[in-house]
Structure 1
């Protein structure tokens, strides 16, 4: 689980031990929080995958804008072959 804040562009980063290549796939899902309002208006998406980590970008469902400077918690799962 990642407990992070997004940057001004709505991006949160996930880092992992360096691999020789990026993962084949990565799944992200919002974690339950004390305020379920986050679940209602944020949508996470994998934005970039590298051999060092990933960028997860969050979009606001109410305005379709990127969710900049937003605290968030999310689960992630990356799979390598």
Structure 2
């Protein structure tokens, strides 16, 4: 789970805790208790996936611009191949 704020570009960088390679797949969604204006107006999108981290950006569903600085709580799940 990630709890924090996005950058002015609507981005969040989340580091892998125990892995040094990129995962096979990543899923991200809002956690409960988000600010209603964030969950109702922004969509979290996986922007990039790397060996040590991944980046999520919020897209404003009204204007399709990046979300800017927003408080956010995200659940994420990544799976690695063996």
Count of matched residue positions in the alignment of Structure 1 and Structure 2? 81
- Identify the residue that residue 23 of structure 1 maps to in structure 2: 23
Q: Which runs of 5+ in 2 are unaligned?
A: none
Aligned pairs for 1:41-56 within 5 A: 41-56=41-56
The structural deviation recorded for 1:18 is 5.7
The 5 A counterparts of 1:1-81 are: 1-17=1-17, 19-33=19-33, 35-81=35-81
SS in 2 for 1:37: helix
TM-score normalised to structure 2 length: 0.87
Structure 1: runs of 5 or more not aligned: none
Structure 1 pair 80/61, CA: closer, same or farther in 2 (3 Å)?
same
